[in-house]
Structure 1
Amino acid sequence: MNNYPKLHNATWPGIVGKGPDSEPVIPFDKLLEMTAAAEVNGVKFDGVDLGLLDPHLNIDMSDDDIKRLADKVSGYHLNIGSLVAPIWAGSAMGTPDQRKTFVEMVKKSCAIGKRLKELGVRHYGIVRIDSAAGVSDWAKDPAGNTKLIAQTFREACDVAADFGEKLAAEGEICWGGMHSWKHMVELLQMVDRKNIGFQADMSHTFLYTMGYNAPEHRILPVDFDKSDREAIKSALKTVTAALRPWTIDFHVAQNDGTVFGSGSHDKTGRHCQATDPNGLLDIANDAGYWLRDEKGNLTKAFQHICWDGCMFPNAVMEKQQTWNDILAALIKVREAHGWKG
């Protein structure tokens, strides 16, 4: 059996879309327990990707706190992979102070990431960012705001390089300047740093093909037949051809072609359960558009893949079977597009 890419679960779905304006946050320890307990034919998760977000984790944690975190995760026989930087207190296209805060959050996240590597619990992964700006605000001055975002990202990349970290910009339709596949490519080219790349999420990036928030970049027609797999595959090939060369982090997910938001989170590509009969993606097959090049060769551009299931109801997330089903989907992706290392 293939043992790469490593299989990770994400912890931030216990926070994103939760809180006072939605359902209660799912505790960090609970997510670790369910991840560690998942098993399919003797195969278990290899690790977790972490959101450095309150109330799970404090971005200003002490070195002793970082050691305790490393011990806790490794105690479940899990590794740590990619980290989400809590950059939303600032904005990549905001005021000078907001942009300074954005970069500072990236710096703190990279420092934690480096320390986790030193402690032997983190062997791969990136630090994830977005523009921390809405699409409507960006649209007030597209060219000027994209330049501001690129400048902030450059500053963040320079800081990350000091820690030996790479940054991955998440492709999601709710982030201004990153809300279409063409805008995303333009932004990454403008940043022009060796240590920045793209974080592809199968749910979010599928919405790119449908032109949500950027109808001028739509690939699938408005009235496309959702049962037409050939049309969907063709659209995915267009998006992945443009963004695959930039992709350094990858989320396996399912989507039914609709948008969804909960709590304070803006609407974005709906994350469906791995077994959702309304899902439009063939998870194992369609992951290959990201994991293989145009000739069908494995890119091996990242050492782990992660399941992202934000904004699932707590009743779903607190069922152990949910995580077994997710693990099963990840295993199928690795069997189809993995390697032995």
Structure 2
Amino acid sequence: MSLKLHNAMWPGLVGKEEGTDHPPISLERMLELTKNAEVDGKHFDGVDLFLFHPHTDPNASDDDIKRMADQIAEAGFKVGSLVAPVWPGTVGGCAFGSEEDRDNFVHAVAVSCKIADALKANGVRDYGIIRIDSAGGPADFAKDEAANTKLLAETFQRAGAVAAEHGERLAAEGEICWGGMHSWKHMLNTLEETGMPSTVGFQADLAHTYLYLLGYNAPEHALLKEGYSEEEFWAAYKTMTDALRPWTIDFHVAQNDGSVHGTGSHDKTGRHCQADDPNGKLDITRCSEMWLKDYDHRGIKHICWDGCMFDNAVLEQGSTWNAILDAMLKVQAAV
């Protein structure tokens, strides 16, 4: 069976602020933009959700979740993966922080599992994972890497046990702004220390993992130097994907122009650029193929586009989503 194609709803939230020229875009509007995308008569199959305001109240009632599920179903979509609100200031806390922080992190996963159960009960979710990260920065993590790796793994183990009770799996996103997963080596160490491959795995995002190669926030783990050749790129990409692919249980199609960007807690992270950006560094299809080898053996049933921090004017253009869908269809056909 071909991989289902999903669009992320969080580009309408990440980096958006009320009262500015880039306010949050409602879930209703993001669903509409996704539904309107079309390439040669083909459309998106579903959406992935960010479980936080204003799209989703983490403490929503069953009736609230049913209303959202009905709305998504009416748009013709299924729900795939869910982003848990694990960060300080939302529901959660740093996974290698204080005891209270770590308890809050596990609670955020439990809240997400409850919403996942409700979505399944309402018939709109049959596959996907719950996405997490460490909710702490590389600088804090570096203060004691050995101790923090142990704390991080213990928190992931506790959260993984909660997820397993609900029939869910957790995928830690490889993003350079999160301590303990800010390089491909740190990410691998965290997953191995957690030691729950059937429950806690990796979410590979093309834009974020590109910066793993260059060693942003962890120069000691760089696989490439600036000015690299194409041959050097593919050799490095193979090293990275061979190491992390066995853990990969969720996948984001994306593009990166080689720069970094961030707002708030998303400091110095991979800059997503548009799918057809002429400055894009990645062969989206070929890179995706390397992550998605034997995807069915790892329980992957869908792939999702991720493109955060675009201006609202870009997100409101139908051509933006058609270009994204076109890139997704090429990946689907290749794997």
Maintained 8 Å contact 1:36/1:44:
yes
Partner of residue 64, structure 1: 63
TM-score w.r.t. the length of structure 1 is 0.94
Distance (whole Å) between structure 1 residues aligned to residue 43 and residue 258 of structure 2: 30
Deviation at 1:286, TM superposition (A): 1.1
Partner of residue 201, structure 2: 197
Which runs of 5 or more structure 2 residues have no equivalent in the other structure?
none
Using the TM superposition, name which of 122-131 and 262-271 deviates more. 262-271
Q: Secondary structure at the match of 1:87?
A: coil
Map 1:245-260 to 2 at 5 A. Answer: 245-260=246-261
Maintained 8 Å contact 2:248/2:298:
no
Maintained 8 Å contact 1:85/1:106:
yes
Map 1:136-285 to 2 at 5 A. Answer: 136-193=139-196, 194-221=198-225, 223-225=226-228, 228-262=229-263, 265-285=266-286
Q: CA RMSD in A?
A: 1.4
Letter in 2 for 1:243: L
Map 1:2-17 to 2 at 5 A. Answer: 4-17=2-15
Deviation at 1:233, TM superposition (A): 1.5
Deviation at 1:300, TM superposition (A): 6.0
Distance (whole Å) between structure 2 residues aligned to residue 263 and residue 160 of structure 1: 28
Letter in 2 for 1:224: G
Letter in 2 for 1:81: G
Note if 1:110 corresponds to 2:113: yes
Distance (whole Å) between structure 1 residues aligned to residue 205 and residue 311 of structure 2: 20
Partner of residue 37, structure 2: 38
Distance (whole Å) between structure 2 residues aligned to residue 311 and residue 31 of structure 1: 14
Deviation at 1:263, TM superposition (A): 5.4
Distance (whole Å) between structure 1 residues aligned to residue 21 and residue 60 of structure 2: 27
Partner of residue 314, structure 2: 316
Using the TM superposition, name which of 109-118 and 165-174 deviates more. 109-118
Q: Secondary structure at the match of 1:305?
A: strand
Deviation at 1:11, TM superposition (A): 0.5
4+ runs deviating over 3 angstroms: 297-301
TM-score w.r.t. the length of structure 2 is 0.95
Distance (whole Å) between structure 1 residues aligned to residue 313 and residue 239 of structure 2: 36
Distance (whole Å) between structure 1 residues aligned to residue 304 and residue 150 of structure 2: 31
Partner of residue 121, structure 1: 124
Distance (whole Å) between structure 1 residues aligned to residue 57 and residue 27 of structure 2: 12
Deviation at 1:301, TM superposition (A): 3.9
Deviation at 1:190, TM superposition (A): 0.7
